[in-house]
Amino acid sequence: DAGVTQSPTHLIKTRGQQVTLRCSPKSGHDTVSWYQQALGQGPQFIFQYYEEEERQRGNFPDRFSGHQFPNYSSELNVNALLLGDSALYLCASSAGTGISGAFFGQGTRLTVV
């Protein structure tokens, strides 16, 4: 049973570019949450998708957007990249509201130069 898978594992982008990160949730999970983890900090909640809609959102600008597909997989898009967007981006999947905790992927390391 595959856990949460994310792609790519590493990515280097130039300031101002756009990036798309992908996530496949654990089998049986229908909810996907995205987190940004800067070096030396804990994960910060970006947003959560359920039934193909954004259900919750953290304090991130509109440059951060997402999508969930009918098969529950999800994408995170970041436009107009800034140097400060360099971080590890984590995808977490859960069943329903996620009240029982979440399963995390290995993350995508994004470097903006």
Partner 1 sequence: AQSVSQHNHHVILSEAASLELGCNYSYGGTVNLFWYVQYPGQHLQLLLKYFSGDPLVKGIKGFEAEFIKSKFSFNLRKPSVQWSDTAEYFCAVNANTNAGKSTFGDGTTLTVKP
Is 55 a residue that touches partner 1 (CB under 8 A)?
Answer: yes
Q: How far is CA 110 from CA 14, 71, 89, 91, 98, in A?
A: 10, 25, 7, 13, 26
Q: Which residues inside 59-88 make contact with partner 1, applying CB under 8 A?
A: none
Rounded distance, CA 83 to CA 102, Å?
29
Residues 82, 80, 92: CA angle, nearest 5 degrees = 75
Minimum distance from residue 97 beta carbon to partner 1 (Å): 4
104 contacts partner 1 (rule: CB under 8 A): yes
Single residue of 7, 20, 30, 56 touching partner 1 by CB under 8 A:
56
Sites of contact with partner 1 (CB under 8 A)? 3-4, 31, 33, 35, 40-45, 48, 50, 55-56, 58, 90, 92, 94, 97-107
